[in-house]
Amino acid sequence: MDTEKIRVNFEYEFRRGTNAAETARNINAAFGEGSTNEDTVRFWFKRFRDGNFDLKNEPREGPPTQVNNDELREIVETDPSKTTQELAAWFNVTLPTILTHLRQINKIKKYEKWVPHDLTDLLKETRVETCVALLTRYRNEGLLDRIVTCDEKWILYDNRKRKMQWLTPDQMPQQCPKAKLTNKKIQGAAANNAEQVKKRNKI
């Protein structure tokens, strides 16, 4: 519905001396119920009484921004995992406002990058030594030839989740180690060699 046409009728009824309630009834009867209401008519009649017969909405300035982009950039670069809710609360603005400013400073959301474990140098060296020892044993004893199936599963109580980070498109996300094996865990494992399979087949 063309609101300017209805406002023309507001002015017409105002110049005729019709009151707001009757004007609202007349317009709803002509254009359909719900086209206007008495409060809207009163608003426009007040403008007309003040000498303002411009039927277009006056431009309204939005609330002054309370987000300093330099401060916002410093916060998210110090702690990229800040949520939009936390940032909006910090600057006391709405979520759409904070998202607009994040786009202005060229920040987008990225998940942390999973890595298998948070290993120290000593743990890395230990793993290399273990792998070398297993390969040596395989060459000498044919260890892998004796394994038919082998599987294990850790059921952890530490259900770690990745966080979102505010980064520029060319930035790599921070790494997030997977959950550590704590005391609160259960492991299921199964392994069978060729001899065990033969015995089971005989049974």
pLDDT of 124 strictly over 50: yes
* Domain shared by 130 and 95, yes or no: no
Q: Could you tell me the pLDDT band of residue 17, with boundaries at 50, 70 and 90?
A: very high
Based on the number of CB atoms within 10 Å of its own CB, is 107 exposed (0-12), middle (13-18) or buried (19 or more)? buried
pLDDT of residue 153: 63
Task: Give the pLDDT confidence of 41-54 residue by residue, as tens digits.
Answer: 888 898 899 888 88
Domain residues for the domain of 192 are 120-161+170-202
pLDDT of residue 60: 45
- Does residue 110 lie within any of the structural domains? no
Model pTM score: 0.36
Most confident option among 12-16, 112-116, 196-200: 12-16
Please report where in the chains the tokens 């094996």 appear, as a residue: 181
* Domain shared by 137 and 181, yes or no: yes
3-state secondary structure of 193: strand
HSE value, Cβ hemisphere, 13 Å, CA-based, for 168: 8
- Does residue 54 lie within any of the structural domains? no
* Domain shared by 36 and 87, yes or no: no
Task: Give the pLDDT confidence of 140-199 residue by residue, as tens digits.
Answer: 876 666 666 656 666 555 556 667 777 787 787 777 776 665 555 555 555 565 555 555
Q: Could you tell me the pLDDT band of residue 96, with boundaries at 50, 70 and 90?
A: confident
Question: Does residue 116 or residue 46 have the better pLDDT?
Answer: 46
* Mean pLDDT, the chain, whole residue set: 76
Task: Give the pLDDT confidence of 66-78 residue by residue, as tens digits.
Answer: 788 888 888 888 8
Question: Does residue 125 or residue 66 have the better pLDDT?
Answer: 125
- Does residue 113 lie within any of the structural domains? no
Question: The domain spanning residue 25 has which CATH number?
Answer: 1.10.10
According to DSSP H, which parts of the chain are helical?
3-16, 20-31, 38-49, 69-78, 84-91, 95-104, 121-141, 194-202
* Domain shared by 84 and 153, yes or no: no
* Domain shared by 149 and 75, yes or no: no
Provide the Cα torsion 83, 84, 88, 94; round to 10°: -160
Q: Could you tell me the pLDDT band of residue 19, with boundaries at 50, 70 and 90?
A: very high
- Does residue 63 lie within any of the structural domains? no
Phi-psi region of 63 (alpha: psi -120 to 50; beta: other; left: phi over 0): beta
CA distance 97 to 85: 11
CA distance 13 to 2: 17
* Domain shared by 125 and 176, yes or no: yes
* Domain shared by 124 and 198, yes or no: yes
Quote the number of domains for the chain.
3
- Does residue 34 lie within any of the structural domains? yes
pLDDT of residue 14: 92
pLDDT of 93 strictly over 60: yes
3-state secondary structure of 190: strand
* Domain shared by 128 and 195, yes or no: yes
pLDDT of residue 200: 52
* Domain shared by 91 and 29, yes or no: no
pLDDT of residue 63: 47
Question: Does residue 10 or residue 170 have the better pLDDT?
Answer: 10
* Domain shared by 153 and 183, yes or no: yes
Task: Give the pLDDT confidence of 97-111 residue by residue, as tens digits.
Answer: 888 899 889 988 777
* Domain shared by 83 and 141, yes or no: no
